[in-house]
Amino acid sequence: MSETVKTLSPKEAHKFLQDHPNALLVDVRSHMEFLFVGHPAGAIHIPWIDEPDWKVNPHFVTLVRQAMLGGAGGAAPVVLICRSGVRSLEAGKLLLEAGISDVYNVAEGFEGQLDDKHHRSALGGWRFHGLPWEQC
């Protein structure tokens, strides 16, 4: 049986983080999204794909490991969030491949899916559910 990225709804993720104070909440969105769209309160920012090249961050796994107990790895659960749950799922798969086994993805992400008017935060997501967030 192979490891899989576990899925949590935004509300489940918030409760999980409260119940597991050692867990790491990592926002994998771009620098601009993290700062100007907002992010979950307490999240650390480690971009998966970022400007200017929009390529996968070659240091992603290393940076996550450093955030986990100074690089010892494996001890703390990692909860990943992006805009809608797609990039964070891909990032989670890479963490599993790197040997980090306790990985979760916030399925609706921070902003959720687009509605019929192409707006986010209307159908789901961390912000839609009224969970704690901050904005610069």
pTM of the model: 0.91
Q: Between residues 11 and 118, which one has the greater pLDDT? A: 11
Total tally of structural domains belonging to the chain: 1
> 127 lies in a domain?
yes
> 136 lies in a domain?
no
Q: Is-contact 133 39, C-beta < 8 A?
A: yes
Burial 55-66 (b: 16+ CB within 10 A, else e): eebeebbebbbe
By residue range, what is the domain housing residue 90? 6-131
| pLDDT 10s digits, 43-89 | 999 999 988 889 999 999 999 999 987 655 457 899 999 999 999 99
**60-67 and 86-97 helices, crossing angle to 10°:** 80
> 1 lies in a domain?
no
| pLDDT 10s digits, 17-38 | 999 999 999 999 999 999 999 9
> 124 lies in a domain?
yes
* Domain CATH for 60: 3.40.250.10
Please give the Cα distance from 107 to 6 (Å, whole number): 9
> 82 lies in a domain?
yes
